[in-house]
Amino acid sequence: MTSLSSTPPDLTRRNLSWRRSLANRTSTLLIGLCVVLAAFPLFLVMWQVISRGGSSMSLDFLTEEIPRNYRTAGPGMGPAIVGTLFITGMAALIAIPIGVLGAVYLNEYGKNKPLARFIRTMADVMTGVPSIMMGLFIYVSYVIVIGEQIGFAGSLALACLMLPIVIRSTEEMLRLVPDELRQASAGLGARKWRTIMTVVLPSASSGITSGALLAIARAAGETAPIIVTVGLTYIYKPDLFYGQNTNLAAQIFRNASQPFAASQERAWGAALTLMGLVFLFTIISRIIASRFAIDKR
């Protein structure tokens, strides 16, 4: 841009009054500062968890049973890892089928009917219900009834948390399925349920899977519903229907609340394991989702 010294309207940045230019620069700077402010805690968390958790990480840590005394130094989170996988897995088995079918209702049957709109709103509201409330709900309606805290109760609580997330994300994916597919299938003489099961759901499957994995990742890190419904154990309890159980998040909470170095050490190791699991699920979900985006094109 060459300067045209003779023509009156100079529209370049140089002609900006200093107040306006200062306001513009300051605002850009402040907006950039916001990004730094948000990135800082993430890097602090990752750095601390990796450096402190890494020092207690070992094969023994992943497989040994949990020491009964907080003061005992040494490894052991095996039962918590198994508990996390089993409790969350069972929750997924409950929540994902119901959630997917519920989304089918919303997108294929209910559409804009008042009932469907109401369910949609309530699913959104349910996403915002505090996780500890799901724990209390399962405690009063299941744990009290059967008389003991078991792993399966934790699965039920986590399933309540996952349900609205699965419904809403699946519905988004079903909405992306082109109507031509449904019409083509109907034109071939397929009934509506067959169209849905063999055409609509398969073509949205990668998107549904990715949403479900995100829901699993979120549930795996939940603590509050677990400590309310599942109790505590130090040994391997692969049977969700017998005896108290535990998971990684609950172990982090217990061990971090203690003033002893040995237990805090274990909390850091458990945190590293848990974050590894959660990131693994998130990354797999991302990969599946990006595949889906390519398919769409």
Least distance between another protein and beta carbon 284 (Å) = 12
**Calpha distance 175→165 (Å, rounded):** 16
Least distance between another protein and beta carbon 157 (Å) = 11
Cβ proximity to another protein: between 26 and 72 the closer is: 26
The tokens 């003489």 sit on which residue? 189
Least distance between another protein and beta carbon 191 (Å) = 5
Least distance between another protein and beta carbon 167 (Å) = 7
Task: Determine the longest span between alpha carbons in the chain, in angstroms.
Answer: 91
Cβ proximity to another protein: between 131 and 209 the closer is: 131
Cβ proximity to another protein: between 98 and 181 the closer is: 98
* Closest among 239, 241, 271 to 254, alpha carbons compared: 271
Helices in 105-204 by DSSP H: which ranges? 114-127, 131-138, 144-146, 151-176, 179-187, 192-195, 201-203
Cβ proximity to another protein: between 75 and 221 the closer is: 221
**Calpha distance 69→234 (Å, rounded):** 10
Q: Which two tokens stand for residue 101?
A: 């079918």
Cβ proximity to another protein: between 153 and 274 the closer is: 274
Least distance between another protein and beta carbon 229 (Å) = 10
What sign does the dihedral 79-83-84-86 (CA atoms) show? positive
